[in-house]
Structure 1
Amino acid sequence: MTTVNDTLKSALDIDGAIAAALVDYETGMSLGSVGGGTLDLDVAAAGNTDVVRAELKTLQRLGLDDTPEDVLITLGTQLHLLRLLQSQNGQGLFLYLVLDRSRANLAMARRQLTVLERNVEI
Protein backbone atom coordinates (compact mmCIF):
# COMPACT_ATOMS: atom_id res chain seq x y z
CA MET A 1 0.00 0.00 0.00
CA THR A 2 1.17 3.53 -0.73
CA THR A 3 0.35 6.89 0.77
CA VAL A 4 -1.80 9.48 -0.99
CA ASN A 5 1.25 11.66 -1.72
CA ASP A 6 3.21 8.73 -3.16
CA THR A 7 0.22 7.74 -5.28
CA LEU A 8 -0.14 11.26 -6.66
CA LYS A 9 3.58 11.48 -7.40
CA SER A 10 3.34 8.15 -9.23
CA ALA A 11 0.40 9.51 -11.22
CA LEU A 12 2.68 12.25 -12.54
CA ASP A 13 4.90 9.50 -14.00
CA ILE A 14 2.09 8.52 -16.38
CA ASP A 15 2.99 9.59 -19.93
CA GLY A 16 1.61 13.06 -20.61
CA ALA A 17 0.55 13.74 -17.00
CA ILE A 18 0.33 17.42 -16.08
CA ALA A 19 -1.39 17.21 -12.69
CA ALA A 20 -3.08 14.81 -10.31
CA ALA A 21 -5.29 15.14 -7.25
CA LEU A 22 -7.30 13.03 -4.85
CA VAL A 23 -10.72 14.60 -4.43
CA ASP A 24 -13.60 14.06 -1.99
CA TYR A 25 -16.74 14.38 -4.12
CA GLU A 26 -18.95 14.84 -1.07
CA THR A 27 -17.24 18.13 -0.22
CA GLY A 28 -15.39 19.04 -3.43
CA MET A 29 -12.17 19.40 -1.48
CA SER A 30 -8.84 18.14 -2.72
CA LEU A 31 -7.11 15.85 -0.21
CA GLY A 32 -3.81 16.24 -2.01
CA SER A 33 -2.49 17.39 -5.35
CA VAL A 34 0.68 17.55 -7.44
CA GLY A 35 1.66 19.40 -10.60
CA GLY A 36 -0.71 21.69 -12.38
CA GLY A 37 1.41 24.57 -13.61
CA THR A 38 -1.10 27.29 -14.47
CA LEU A 39 -4.07 24.98 -13.79
CA ASP A 40 -5.74 25.80 -10.45
CA LEU A 41 -6.32 22.29 -9.14
CA ASP A 42 -8.57 23.43 -6.30
CA VAL A 43 -10.97 25.07 -8.76
CA ALA A 44 -10.74 22.09 -11.12
CA ALA A 45 -11.37 19.61 -8.26
CA ALA A 46 -14.44 21.51 -7.08
CA GLY A 47 -15.84 21.80 -10.60
CA ASN A 48 -15.24 18.17 -11.45
CA THR A 49 -16.97 17.19 -8.23
CA ASP A 50 -20.15 18.55 -9.83
CA VAL A 51 -19.49 16.35 -12.87
CA VAL A 52 -19.12 13.22 -10.71
CA ARG A 53 -22.24 14.05 -8.70
CA ALA A 54 -24.24 14.64 -11.89
CA GLU A 55 -23.14 11.29 -13.31
CA LEU A 56 -24.05 9.45 -10.11
CA LYS A 57 -27.44 11.18 -9.97
CA THR A 58 -28.13 10.33 -13.61
CA LEU A 59 -27.34 6.65 -13.04
CA GLN A 60 -29.66 6.67 -10.04
CA ARG A 61 -32.49 8.31 -12.02
CA LEU A 62 -32.04 5.72 -14.76
CA GLY A 63 -32.40 2.99 -12.16
CA LEU A 64 -29.03 1.51 -13.06
CA ASP A 65 -27.51 -0.46 -10.22
CA ASP A 66 -23.97 0.31 -11.26
CA THR A 67 -21.18 2.76 -10.55
CA PRO A 68 -18.93 4.51 -13.05
CA GLU A 69 -15.29 3.50 -13.16
CA ASP A 70 -14.19 6.79 -14.61
CA VAL A 71 -15.39 9.92 -16.36
CA LEU A 72 -13.46 11.41 -19.26
CA ILE A 73 -13.50 15.05 -20.29
CA THR A 74 -11.76 15.76 -23.57
CA LEU A 75 -10.49 19.21 -24.40
CA GLY A 76 -8.57 20.38 -27.44
CA THR A 77 -5.19 20.03 -25.73
CA GLN A 78 -5.94 18.09 -22.55
CA LEU A 79 -7.68 15.00 -21.24
CA HIS A 80 -9.21 15.11 -17.75
CA LEU A 81 -9.71 11.66 -16.28
CA LEU A 82 -11.78 11.21 -13.12
CA ARG A 83 -11.28 7.74 -11.63
CA LEU A 84 -13.79 6.91 -8.88
CA LEU A 85 -12.15 4.85 -6.15
CA GLN A 86 -13.92 1.53 -5.74
CA SER A 87 -12.25 0.35 -2.52
CA GLN A 88 -14.05 0.40 0.82
CA ASN A 89 -11.84 3.19 2.13
CA GLY A 90 -12.12 5.12 -1.11
CA GLN A 91 -15.85 5.68 -0.89
CA GLY A 92 -16.69 9.20 -1.99
CA LEU A 93 -13.26 9.84 -3.55
CA PHE A 94 -11.87 10.11 -7.04
CA LEU A 95 -8.42 10.36 -8.53
CA TYR A 96 -8.21 13.29 -10.92
CA LEU A 97 -5.59 13.13 -13.65
CA VAL A 98 -4.89 15.86 -16.20
CA LEU A 99 -3.05 14.75 -19.32
CA ASP A 100 -1.45 16.58 -22.22
CA ARG A 101 -3.47 15.15 -25.09
CA SER A 102 -0.57 15.19 -27.54
CA ARG A 103 1.68 13.08 -25.26
CA ALA A 104 -0.82 10.80 -23.52
CA ASN A 105 -2.02 7.30 -24.25
CA LEU A 106 -5.53 7.19 -22.78
CA ALA A 107 -5.75 3.40 -22.55
CA MET A 108 -2.43 3.18 -20.71
CA ALA A 109 -3.33 6.08 -18.41
CA ARG A 110 -6.60 4.37 -17.44
CA ARG A 111 -4.75 1.13 -16.76
CA GLN A 112 -2.09 2.83 -14.66
CA LEU A 113 -4.72 4.73 -12.64
CA THR A 114 -6.44 1.42 -11.90
CA VAL A 115 -3.19 0.04 -10.49
CA LEU A 116 -2.64 3.20 -8.42
CA GLU A 117 -6.21 3.02 -7.13
CA ARG A 118 -5.69 -0.53 -5.88
CA ASN A 119 -2.57 0.41 -3.93
CA VAL A 120 -3.46 3.77 -2.38
CA GLU A 121 -3.85 3.81 1.40
CA ILE A 122 -6.35 6.37 2.63
Structure 2
Amino acid sequence: MASVEVSLKEMMAGVEGALGAAVVDYTSGMALGTLGGGKELDLNIAAAGNTDVIRAKVRTMEQLGLKGQIEDILITLDHQYHVIRLLTGRAGNGLFLYLVLDKAHSNLAMARHQLKRVEADIEI
Protein backbone atom coordinates (compact mmCIF):
# COMPACT_ATOMS: atom_id res chain seq x y z
CA MET A 1 0.00 0.00 0.00
CA ALA A 2 1.22 3.48 -0.87
CA SER A 3 0.81 6.79 0.94
CA VAL A 4 -0.56 9.92 -0.73
CA GLU A 5 2.98 11.24 -1.20
CA VAL A 6 4.22 8.02 -2.82
CA SER A 7 1.09 7.84 -5.01
CA LEU A 8 1.65 11.39 -6.26
CA LYS A 9 5.26 10.56 -7.16
CA GLU A 10 4.09 7.43 -9.02
CA MET A 11 1.54 9.48 -10.95
CA MET A 12 4.13 12.06 -12.00
CA ALA A 13 7.06 9.71 -12.68
CA GLY A 14 5.00 6.95 -14.25
CA VAL A 15 3.49 9.06 -17.01
CA GLU A 16 5.51 10.93 -19.60
CA GLY A 17 4.31 14.50 -20.01
CA ALA A 18 2.80 14.77 -16.51
CA LEU A 19 2.54 18.40 -15.41
CA GLY A 20 0.78 18.05 -12.08
CA ALA A 21 -1.02 15.57 -9.86
CA ALA A 22 -3.33 15.69 -6.86
CA VAL A 23 -5.29 13.47 -4.53
CA VAL A 24 -8.55 15.24 -3.72
CA ASP A 25 -11.42 14.83 -1.27
CA TYR A 26 -14.50 15.71 -3.33
CA THR A 27 -16.75 16.04 -0.31
CA SER A 28 -14.78 19.13 0.75
CA GLY A 29 -12.97 20.06 -2.49
CA MET A 30 -9.63 20.08 -0.69
CA ALA A 31 -6.47 18.50 -2.04
CA LEU A 32 -4.94 15.98 0.37
CA GLY A 33 -1.69 16.34 -1.54
CA THR A 34 -0.31 17.84 -4.73
CA LEU A 35 2.85 17.52 -6.79
CA GLY A 36 3.90 19.63 -9.76
CA GLY A 37 1.71 22.37 -11.12
CA GLY A 38 3.06 25.91 -10.94
CA LYS A 39 2.15 29.51 -11.55
CA GLU A 40 -0.14 28.68 -14.47
CA LEU A 41 -1.52 25.47 -12.93
CA ASP A 42 -2.68 25.96 -9.33
CA LEU A 43 -3.59 22.41 -8.31
CA ASN A 44 -5.52 23.54 -5.23
CA ILE A 45 -7.85 25.67 -7.35
CA ALA A 46 -8.12 22.85 -9.88
CA ALA A 47 -8.99 20.41 -7.08
CA ALA A 48 -11.87 22.59 -5.92
CA GLY A 49 -13.11 23.20 -9.46
CA ASN A 50 -13.00 19.55 -10.44
CA THR A 51 -14.99 18.70 -7.34
CA ASP A 52 -17.81 20.70 -8.94
CA VAL A 53 -17.38 18.69 -12.16
CA ILE A 54 -17.80 15.41 -10.28
CA ARG A 55 -20.80 16.65 -8.31
CA ALA A 56 -22.49 17.83 -11.51
CA LYS A 57 -21.92 14.49 -13.25
CA VAL A 58 -23.18 12.49 -10.26
CA ARG A 59 -26.28 14.71 -10.08
CA THR A 60 -26.91 14.27 -13.83
CA MET A 61 -26.54 10.50 -13.57
CA GLU A 62 -29.07 10.46 -10.74
CA GLN A 63 -31.54 12.58 -12.73
CA LEU A 64 -31.18 10.26 -15.72
CA GLY A 65 -31.52 7.18 -13.56
CA LEU A 66 -28.15 5.85 -14.74
CA LYS A 67 -26.70 3.07 -12.64
CA GLY A 68 -23.02 2.32 -12.18
CA GLN A 69 -20.01 4.29 -11.08
CA ILE A 70 -17.84 6.87 -12.79
CA GLU A 71 -14.41 5.41 -13.61
CA ASP A 72 -12.81 8.56 -14.91
CA ILE A 73 -13.54 11.90 -16.51
CA LEU A 74 -11.40 13.34 -19.29
CA ILE A 75 -11.21 17.04 -20.08
CA THR A 76 -9.32 17.85 -23.27
CA LEU A 77 -7.88 21.33 -23.72
CA ASP A 78 -5.81 22.75 -26.58
CA HIS A 79 -2.50 21.67 -25.06
CA GLN A 80 -3.43 19.55 -22.05
CA TYR A 81 -5.38 16.54 -20.87
CA HIS A 82 -6.98 16.68 -17.42
CA VAL A 83 -7.83 13.21 -16.11
CA ILE A 84 -10.01 12.70 -13.04
CA ARG A 85 -10.19 9.15 -11.65
CA LEU A 86 -12.59 8.45 -8.82
CA LEU A 87 -11.26 6.04 -6.22
CA THR A 88 -13.39 3.03 -5.43
CA GLY A 89 -13.51 0.85 -2.38
CA ARG A 90 -13.90 1.65 1.27
CA ALA A 91 -10.56 3.45 1.64
CA GLY A 92 -11.12 5.70 -1.39
CA ASN A 93 -14.73 6.68 -0.93
CA GLY A 94 -15.11 10.39 -1.68
CA LEU A 95 -11.63 10.78 -3.20
CA PHE A 96 -10.26 11.21 -6.69
CA LEU A 97 -6.92 11.25 -8.44
CA TYR A 98 -6.27 14.24 -10.69
CA LEU A 99 -3.56 14.26 -13.34
CA VAL A 100 -2.69 17.01 -15.81
CA LEU A 101 -0.76 16.01 -18.92
CA ASP A 102 1.01 17.86 -21.69
CA LYS A 103 -1.03 16.76 -24.70
CA ALA A 104 1.92 16.75 -27.10
CA HIS A 105 4.18 14.66 -24.88
CA SER A 106 1.92 12.10 -23.25
CA ASN A 107 0.09 8.89 -23.99
CA LEU A 108 -3.45 9.10 -22.68
CA ALA A 109 -3.99 5.32 -22.61
CA MET A 110 -0.83 4.80 -20.57
CA ALA A 111 -1.83 7.60 -18.20
CA ARG A 112 -5.20 5.97 -17.55
CA HIS A 113 -3.46 2.64 -16.99
CA GLN A 114 -1.04 4.23 -14.50
CA LEU A 115 -3.88 5.92 -12.59
CA LYS A 116 -5.63 2.57 -12.30
CA ARG A 117 -2.44 1.07 -10.83
CA VAL A 118 -2.03 3.96 -8.39
CA GLU A 119 -5.68 3.58 -7.36
CA ALA A 120 -5.11 -0.09 -6.52
CA ASP A 121 -2.12 0.71 -4.28
CA ILE A 122 -3.09 3.92 -2.52
CA GLU A 123 -3.86 3.89 1.18
CA ILE A 124 -5.46 6.87 2.84
TM band (smaller chain): over 0.9
Q: Which amino acid aligns with 1:87?
A: G
SS at match of 1:51: helix
In structure 2, list runs of 5 or more residues that go unmatched.
none
State the number of aligned residues.
122
What is the aligned counterpart of 1:61 among 56, 59, 63? 63
Which residue of 114, 117, 120 corresponds with 1:115?
A: 117
Superposed CA RMSD in Å reads 0.7
For 2:22 and 2:95, locate their aligned partners in 1 and report how far apart those are by CA, in whole Å.
10
SS at match of 1:102: helix
CA–CA distance in structure 1, aligned partners of residues 22 and 77 of structure 2: 18
With structure 1 as the length reference, what TM-score do the two structures score? 0.98
CA drift at 1:34 = 0.3
| Identity in percent | 55
Off by >3 Å, runs of 4+ in structure 1 = none
Question: Which of 105, 110, 114 matches 1:103?
Answer: 105
> 2:26, 2:3 → 1: CA distance?
19
- Give the equivalent residue in structure 1 for 2:12: 12
Tell me if the contact between 1:59 and 1:66 (Cα under 8 Å) persists in the aligned partners: no
Give 5+ residue unaligned stretches, structure 1. Answer: none
